[in-house]
Amino acid sequence: MNAPHPEMVLRRARATVGAFAYRYRSEAHLHTLLDEVLTAGGLPVEREVQLDPGNRVDLLLPAGVVVEVKVDGTLNEALRQVNRYIGFDRVQGVLLVATPRWAAQTLRERPKWGDKPFGMVCIRRQAL
């Protein structure tokens, strides 16, 4: 069996997490919910993976695809973090999962990070 391609893992993860609305108390709780959804969707998850002493990713999927979760902050801050992660050999792609309004906007240009795929999905928060 062939190893999954990072672009395919990223697309599947984006579709899977984007299909639901989430009710969460904190970013850490949202990590747990995303872990459950991705695992149920056939994508095993490693949580809180340390890339080096100063960089820890929220979730790591097969083929080296990182899922970075943001519930606040700016797009520029999030993209700077993605840029740090994408430089690691272990990271083969990044999916930015966010709740702020900026995540619902289409990026005019896809950030250029070599041949590594990048995607962004704005997830919905479930009403109480």
Read off the pLDDT of each residue in 8-30 and give the average, rounded to a whole number.
94
Residue 76 and residue 106 in contact, taking contact as beta carbons nearer than 8 Å: no
pTM as predicted: 0.90
Give the per-residue pLDDT at 51.
Answer: 96
**3-state DSSP of the chain:** CCCCCHHHHHHHHHHHHHCCEECCCCHHHHHHHHHHHHHHCCCCCEEEEEEECCEEEEEEEHHHEEEEEECCCCHHHHHHHHHHHHCCCCCCEEEEEECCHHHHCCCCCCCCECECCEEEEECEECCC
Per-residue pLDDT at 40 exceeds 70: yes
Give the per-residue pLDDT at 1.
Answer: 52
Task: Report pLDDT digits (tens) over 73-88.
Answer: 888 899 899 999 999 9
Cα(33)–Cα(36) distance, integer angstroms? 5
Task: Report pLDDT digits (tens) over 50-72.
Answer: 999 999 999 999 999 999 999 98
Task: Report pLDDT digits (tens) over 99-108.
Answer: 867 777 766 5
Nearest to 43 by CA among 56, 61, 30: 61
Per-residue pLDDT at 118 exceeds 70: yes
What residue type is 57 in one-letter code? V
What is the signed CA dihedral for 81, 84, 90, 95, rounded to 10 degrees?
30
The strand pair at 46-52 and 21-22 is best described as unpaired
